A = this chain, B = another copy of it.
Amino acid sequence: MSRSSSRPLRNVLFIMCDQLRADYLSCYGHPRLHTPHIDALAARGMRFRQAYVQGSVCGASRMSIYTGRYVSSHGAMWNFVPLSVGQKTLGEHLRPHGVRCALVGKTHVEPDREGARRLGLDITQGEGRLAMEGGFEPYARDDGIWPPGFKVSGNAYCDWLREHGLVSDNPWHDFANSGRGPQGEILSGWQMRWARSPAAIAEPFSETPYTTDRAIDFMREAGDAPWVLHLSYIKPHWPYVAPAPYHAMYGPADVLPAVRSEAERAGAHPVLEGFRREEASRNFSRDEVRDTVIPTYMGLVRQVDDQLGRLFAFMAEQGLDRETLVIFTSDHGDYLGDHWLGEKELFHDPIVRVPLIVADPRAEADAARGSASDALVECIDILPTVLDALGLAQPAEWLEGETLLPLVHGRGAAAGKDFVVCENSYAFRDAVRLPLGQPVERCHMTMLRTQRWKFVHFEDLPPLLFDLETDPQELTDLGRDPAHAAVRERMLGHMFDWLRARSRFPTIAPAAIEAWNRREREAGILIGAW
């Protein structure tokens, strides 16, 4: 947790996409999907090629990013699991230093209402209210995702659509995330078969430009006071529906072959088999589905890129670029049919490896500017990086990540961490859990990835093991291979070490522990004196 000694920056723009795979950006090597503005950001900063999320679903991953702590440490183990009032978030680290921490877009924070009731906390105002927002000032919060028929009220985006004549109970669904059939009928984005239909909305009214506009509004209003803005796009997360022209920008010819093999399915690990039984996996295993959905997924990514181009131009025009650290990442990826899987939840690279770009405008970053790093880094490193960029202390009792600025400034250890960790639980998925007869308490999964190996630990079941040197596509599971017993033992050893090193004592700072004996003596406490 060494700190940068550079002149502090004034602002941080922390951009996140939802469900964006690292390899669906041209700067990360996609041969057909061109993302020039994100590529330009990478050219202004450092691009991390081995950045890993700490949870493989939105909620858990985001809570790790917002607290700088592993999932086992913050406790919000899956989506819609409340973030305990006992956890300290980015905004709570920043506000005492006079730095605003605002949100535009999605957080997926589930408030700990039970904890608030237990404490008698006033959640209608002040810090209590912000705690229910995961510590963010909700400048323009929009978590999206409403099922058809849901009557949406009190949502700014839906209200804005209605003001512009797009009136229904659920304009998010009926216009922004659905197409129209020949008779004007709604083609719901909740059914992937309609993914090629353009959204029933003009492009400027779709979620990505709306969200970008709110970020620009925020920057205009914020003036010269320091801020951290979390600009958090919902896309390219499903529903897979894009407005014209993005719905038709790519076609089946642009779809890369699925990374999968027949051999993967024979005698597969029972948890993989379970997830392959899910509807999303069954559908994404069909080429028709991939050819329908992936072009639209690509269009949604391209739309984000275009909007970021607009935002970056605004920032340059305002001179904000010189005072602002920019971070770009995603909360996890999307299988899109790789490994005969759809959606997310498991630990192949399409899910757990995410894009991570850090662009520091200061001269200290010039040496490494535009380069890519193969260091193993984690998304819990983002929060320490934000604090470091602003010149703030990094409370070791809370933070489990490390600032990335030494790497960004070309001074860090090229290999990064010995291993990175990602967690999830299949307790929430009946199709996986029930056939295994596992109680919900024993469905936790822990992935460790070193430079060479990826290992996934399950309770009461064999592990998964992939040799990323000889099998970078993760097609051959060595988890039950007798020849790799020693590797598995070593990975279990890492996991044991990792568990013991968790931040379990966040209410006392290391410096206070070190000072204890002196304080005790000064207070006149004499233990065992004769």
Closest Cβ of chain B to A479, distance in Å, is 17
Closest Cβ of chain B to A440, distance in Å, is 4
The contact of A530 among B81, B150, B289, by CB within 8 Å, is B289
A528 nearest CB neighbor, chain B only: B280
Are the C-beta atoms of A506 and B278 separated by less than 8 Å?
A: no
Residues of B within 8 A of A88 (CB): 118
User: With an 8 A cutoff between CB atoms, is A499 at the interface?
Assistant: yes
Residues of B within 8 A of A506 (CB): 75, 84
The contact of A444 among B431, B500, B530, by CB within 8 Å, is B500
User: With an 8 A cutoff between CB atoms, is A131 at the interface?
Assistant: yes
Residues of B within 8 A of A524 (CB): 147-150, 190
What is the total number of copies of this protein in its complex? 2
Which of A73, A122, A527 is most buried by chain B, counting CB atoms within 10 A of its CB? A527
A517 nearest CB neighbor, chain B only: B430
Which of A78, A492, A507 is most buried by chain B, counting CB atoms within 10 A of its CB? A507
Closest Cβ of chain B to A141, distance in Å, is 19
Are the C-beta atoms of A527 and B280 separated by less than 8 Å?
A: yes
In the complex where A77-B504, A504-B77, A507-B82 touch, is A528 in contact with B284 (Cβ < 8 A)? yes
Residues of B within 8 A of A441 (CB): 396, 501, 510
Interface residues of A in 449-496 (CB under 8 A from B): 459, 492, 495-496
Residues of B within 8 A of A86 (CB): 84-87, 115
In the complex where A119-B121, A120-B128, A126-B120 touch, is A283 in contact with B530 (Cβ < 8 A)? yes
Closest Cβ of chain B to A91, distance in Å, is 10
Are the C-beta atoms of A127 and B119 separated by less than 8 Å?
A: yes
User: With an 8 A cutoff between CB atoms, is A281 at the interface?
Assistant: yes
User: With an 8 A cutoff between CB atoms, is A513 at the interface?
Assistant: yes
Which of A193, A279, A284, A528 is most buried by chain B, counting CB atoms within 10 A of its CB? A528
Closest Cβ of chain B to A341, distance in Å, is 10
Knowing that A77-B508, A86-B86 are A-B contacts, what are 15 other residue pairs whose CB atoms are under 8 Å apart, sorted by A's residue number?
A72-B504, A75-B504, A77-B504, A84-B506, A92-B118, A121-B121, A145-B525, A190-B526, A192-B530, A238-B527, A278-B527, A279-B530, A283-B528, A429-B517, A440-B514
